[in-house]
Structure formats: structure tokens, C-alpha cells
Amino acid sequence: MKTNSFTFKLNQQQQDETFSLLNNSKYEPKDVPHTRIAVALPDCRINLYNSGKLLVQGKAAQEWITFTLETEILKEAQLGYEELQDPEAYKPHMGIDESGKGDFFGPLVIASAFVNEELVEKLRDMGVRDSKKISSDNVALNMARDIKKLLGNRCAMVTIGPRSYNRMYAKIRNVNKMLAWGHARAIENLLEKVPDCPRALSDKFGPTHQIERALLDKGKKIQLDQRTKAESDPAVAAASILARAGFLYALKEIGKTHNFEVPKGASEKVRKEAEKLVAYKGPGILLDTAKCHFQTTDKVLAEVGYSRKDLPSPT
């Protein structure tokens, strides 16, 4: 089943050209909030939002994109050419991605997801894309639920909670090596469920040999690829969303356990919440809630009258 909803991010020139194109009597004007222009054709709705996003929906959406948008605005063929542009994306493989690496609070979560041609088509129909492009946590959580329902046991997740993370970092002292270990475990765990998967793909965060060295017997037989912007691959995009959902669920559990609303990221708001938490429960609480190698830790401890020597050993 093909999707009838498509989204494009247009640059300023493309936005202006699209506005001129749609400001024509052949299009029926519509009133849609936050749009620069919104129009309709038989079986097709077209909304150009102030943000530069172009949304095209309806049974005739693909026809309008192919014969109007691509030829007059984009000046290139995109729709329907995904398989020609990246044929490897449709072949059986797994994608691996992580969430929480840049967040002070919470765990590091690594997920893996297996796809084949049938699953890729279904993921594309669901609108699966890199979780970093999804601004709403609820959207990410709902999409992760749908991905899990579609993939069944063809996905896996590794969660390194704050206490384990801090213990591991104290020994390894290198985040990329920790990522490699997590990616290797996510690959091995998925190979237990899909033993004939021939290839694994992840975003490039360090030398490929770091993951290869961490793989066990099953993993050493798989073709391991890393590339920049791997999130464009449907398997990596699915893993990205699963990892983000796992991270968000973990934040909620930390909040319930320690009775505070856990903010994401490493902003000033995060630092202020950490200061309140340490002032109330002491510096040791950071070992169970945060990644203590962040410089944020030093700032938080200093603000509340402590230093790193007051932080207990994670081991």
C-alpha cells in the first residue's frame, strides 16, 4: 500500500517559486493555520507552511509531485526512485543507532532493527525517518510502538543505565569505545533472533574496528558498514526511533524513582534541575541519574558546595 502523504523541506527560492505556482486560479484556496498558502485540487491538498515545509496529501498527490513539483520546483526526480538511489536499503540488513549520548540525565540506549524489501516499503509508508527530525516526543513514542508491532522480534535494544554507564566510563574513559560495545551487543542480540542477517549498518562515530573488536562469534561473520548520515537508511531510521523511545521511557522511570521531572539535553535548565537534586539528596544521586563525565557535573557540584572528590566511586 503506497502512502498518500508526502513532506518536503523547501529552501527559500523553492518556497517562493511554489507560492507563485500555487497562486493560480486552477488551485482552490484553503484556510489552513500557519501556512503561507494552502490549496486543493481534485483528490489532492497542498499546504506550504511558513516553516518552509510543503505537505502534499491525497490520492492524486503522487501524480502532482511527479509531474509538477519535481519538474517545475525541485528540478529532480525523487518520488519512486528511492530504490534506484539506494538499492542496498531494500536488501536484508539491520540498522543500529543510539539515543542519549548528548544528554546529561538518563541512560545511553542503542537499538537495532532488521529490514527486508517488504519491511522497508511498510516503514516508508509509515513515514519512518531519523528520530532527530521528529520534534515531538509523543510522535516518536507512537511511531516506536508501530515499528515494534511491525518488526515483532526483529529488533533489539541495549540500555546502559547511569550507574552502569558511570562504572563503564571510569574503566574505559572513552565514549566512542562505549558506543562500539553497545553497538556490538545490539548486533549480537538481533542476530540471536535473525541469524541469517548478512549486513549491519550504523552511523559513523569512530573507526569500524572498534565495533568489530567488540563483536562475538556470531557478529564476526556479519558485514559491518558505517557511513555518515546513515539515518537516511530505513533500518537505521527505525533503530533511531526505537532508541529514542527507550531513552524517553527510561527518563520517565528515573523521574518516578527520584521524584523529579527529568529534562533532556545538557542546557542550563538541566543544570538547575541537577543542582536542586544534589542539594536535596547529595552528590551521590548523580551516579544513578546522570552521566558524570560531563562538565555539567563539575558546575553542578561547585554551585551546591561540593567537588568531584565528594562524588562516590561508581564501582
**pLDDT tens sequence across 183-208:** 999 999 999 999 999 999 998 877 66
Closest alpha carbon to 112 in 130, 100, 94: 94
- For residue 150, pLDDT over 70 is answered with yes
- What CA dihedral angle connects 157, 158, 163 and 167, to 10 degrees? -170
Q: What's the pLDDT at 81?
A: 47
CA distance 159 to 182: 8
SS3 per-residue string spanning the chain: CCCCEEEEECCHHHHHHHHHHHCCCCCEECCCCCEEEEEEECCEEEEEECCCEEEEECCCHHHHHHHHHHHHHHCCCCCCCHHHHCHHHHCCEEEEEEECCCCCECCEEEEEEEECHHHHHHHHHCCCCCHHHCCCHHHHHHHHHHHHHHHCCCEEEEEECHHHHHHHHHHHCCHHHHHHHHHHHHHHHHHHHCCCCCEEEEECCCCHHHHHHHCCCCHHHCEEEEECCHHHCHHHHHHHHHHHHHHHHHHHHHHHHHCCCCCCCCCHHHHHHHHHHHHHHCHHHHHHCECCCCHHHHHHHHHCCCCHHHCCCCC
Query: Which CATH fold topology does 87-253 show?
Result: Nucleotidyltransferase; domain 5 (3.30.420)
Question: Looking at residues 115-122, what average pLDDT do you find?
Answer: 91
Q: What's the pLDDT at 249?
A: 97
* Percentage of the chain lying above the pLDDT 70 cut: 93
pLDDT in tens, 64-108: 988 899 888 987 655 554 544 567 888 999 999 999 999 999 999
CB under 8 Å, gap of 24 or more: what pairs does 250-255 form?
A: 250/100, 250/106, 250/107, 250/109, 250/159, 250/161, 251/105, 251/106, 254/105, 254/106, 254/162, 254/288, 254/289
- For residue 234, pLDDT over 80 is answered with yes
pLDDT in tens, 12-63: 999 999 999 999 999 999 999 999 999 999 999 999 999 999 999 998 888 8
Structural contact between residues 108 and 152, judged by C-beta atoms closer than 8 angstroms: no
Query: Which CATH fold topology does 5-80 show?
Result: TATA-Binding Protein (3.30.310)
pLDDT in tens, 264-303: 999 999 999 999 999 999 999 999 999 999 999 999 999 9
When pLDDT is cut at 50, 70 and 90, the band that residue 309 belongs to is very high
Domain ranges of the chain: 5-80, 87-253, 260-310
Lowest mean pLDDT among 89-98, 162-171, 222-231, 290-299: 222-231
CA distance 131 to 315: 33
